[in-house]
């Protein structure tokens, strides 16, 4: 018995539904339902094009230049190919190695200071019951200031010369000797100028990160600590608040170290017009700037240094992330 006969015998009619001829075409599939894909590219496309043109293309081209003897040119020929020669020269350059030492010294200053200040500000703002938004905005506002503008203000207004500037004026009120803050004589007071300007600029940003972490802590933990006899203040902070900020602290330390590697504006604008500064007064980016755009304009050597610096930053980030257990599931 055929299938058609069996369907009739069972009292069911055969399926005569016509085939679906309204399947979306290629254009409809590319545009997506309600043209969402089209609007996605309308809004994201210009940003993606700018990111590729002004970020990824220069990165790839810099990697390409690092294998050539590129003096005063960004289009070297095949005869200028030197292979890994630029990398070997950069690794053996004492000035480049001393610039890495500058980074380490700057990191020892700026990372603990920014961490402590931003965490302290976050704790104080989080305890406020009135005008919390106002103080949060006030402390965050310096983040919007340009590093170049801040460095110029620090140089011309706050730490200006021996007789002038806000810092020397305050010292004069207490009868203390006035200081040439940006001189090359010992002690190197220019470190105080550099660290304070960076501290003023970035503490507010990391304060916001700590505030977000503080607001994620469950109030029930503080209630349980109070029941267990923990006194408000240091004991609660040590046993409840600080452990709950572990993930935020790891992220803040990672960002601080990466930003220390990228220090350029304050060093260049505060120390570029001075003479006699020791090599360790220049971080890696300032040294690479003078190498690639200085007198020799050795773009190949500067590109090799930039690649080495990028690899060091990536390695340092991975090591820190593994060391602190970033992304590890919390207990």
- Give the CATH number for residue 218: 1.10.3720.10
How many Å apart are CA 123 and CA 146, to the nearest integer? 26
Residue 330 backbone phi and psi in degrees, to 5: -70, 150
Domain that holds residue 55: 30-59
Same domain, 129 and 252: yes
* Contact criterion met (CB below 8 Å) for 326 and 254: yes
Same domain, 147 and 48: no
The band of 50, judged by pLDDT with boundaries at 50, 70 and 90, is: very high
Most confident of 30-39, 155-164, 239-248: 239-248
Question: Assign residue 12 a region: left if phi > 0, alpha if psi is -120 to 50, beta otherwise?
Answer: beta
2: in domain: no
- Residue 110: pLDDT over 90: yes
Domain's final residue, options 41, 59, 77: 59
Compute the half-sphere exposure of residue 36: CA atoms within 13 Å on the CB side of its CA.
3
How many Å apart are CA 42 and CA 54, to the nearest integer? 19
106: in domain: yes
- Residue 1: pLDDT over 70: no
How many Å apart are CA 196 and CA 157, to the nearest integer? 14
Task: Give the pLDDT confidence score for residue 123 in this predicted structure.
Answer: 92
Give residue 304's Cα distance to chain centre. 22
4: in domain: no
pLDDT in tens, 51-93: 999 989 989 999 999 999 888 888 887 778 888 989 999 988 8
Same domain, 37 and 144: no
How many Å apart are CA 170 and CA 150, to the nearest integer? 20
* Residue 77: closest CA among 87, 86, 85, 67: 67
Same domain, 52 and 125: no
69: in domain: no
pLDDT in tens, 241-269: 888 998 899 889 989 988 888 888 888 88
pLDDT in tens, 118-146: 999 999 998 888 888 899 999 999 999 98
Q: Which two tokens stand for residue 208?
A: 């916001």
3: in domain: no
* Contact criterion met (CB below 8 Å) for 282 and 267: yes
DSSP code of 145? S
Same domain, 110 and 46: no
Same domain, 189 and 251: yes
Same domain, 255 and 296: yes
């Amino acid at each position: 018995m055929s299938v058609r006969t069996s369907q009739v015998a069972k009292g069911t009619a055969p399926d005569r539904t016509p085939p679906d001829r309204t399947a979306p075409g290629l254009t409809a599939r590319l545009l997506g339902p309600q043209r969402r894909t089209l609007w996605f590219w309308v809004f994201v496309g210009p940003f993606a094009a700018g990111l590729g043109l002004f970020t990824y293309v220069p990165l790839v081209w810099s990697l390409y230049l690092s294998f050539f003897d590129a003096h005063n040119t960004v289009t070297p020929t095949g005869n200028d190919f030197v292979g890994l020669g630029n990398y070997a020269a950069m690794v053996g350059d004492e000035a480049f190695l001393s610039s890495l030492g500058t980074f380490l010294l700057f990191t020892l200053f700026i990372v603990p200071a920014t961490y402590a200040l931003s965490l302290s500000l976050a704790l104080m703002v989080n305890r406020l019951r009135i005008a919390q938004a106002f103080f949060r905005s006030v402390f965050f506002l310096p983040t919007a200031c340009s590093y170049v503008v801040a460095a110029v203000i620090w140089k011309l207004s706050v730490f200006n010369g021996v007789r002038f500037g806000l810092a020397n004026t305050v010292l004069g009120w207490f009868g203390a000797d006035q200081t040439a803050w940006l001189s090359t004589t010992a002690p190197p007071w220019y470190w105080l100028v550099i660290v304070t300007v960076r501290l003023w600029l970035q503490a507010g940003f990391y304060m916001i990160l700590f505030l977000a972490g503080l607001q994620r802590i469950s109030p029930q933990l503080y209630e349980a600590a109070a029941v267990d006899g923990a006194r408000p203040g240091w004991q609660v902070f040590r046993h409840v608040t600080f452990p709950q900020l572990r993930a935020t602290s790891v992220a803040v330390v990672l960002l601080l170290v990466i930003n220390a590697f990228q220090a350029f504006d304050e060093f260049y604008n505060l120390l570029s017009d001075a003479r006699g500064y020791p090599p360790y007064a220049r971080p890696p980016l300032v040294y690479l700037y003078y190498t690639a755009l200085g007198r020799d304009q050795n773009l190949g050597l500067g590109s090799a240094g930039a690649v080495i610096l990028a690899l060091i930053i990536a390695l340092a980030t991975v090591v820190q992330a593994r060391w602190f257990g970033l992304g590890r599931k919390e207990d």
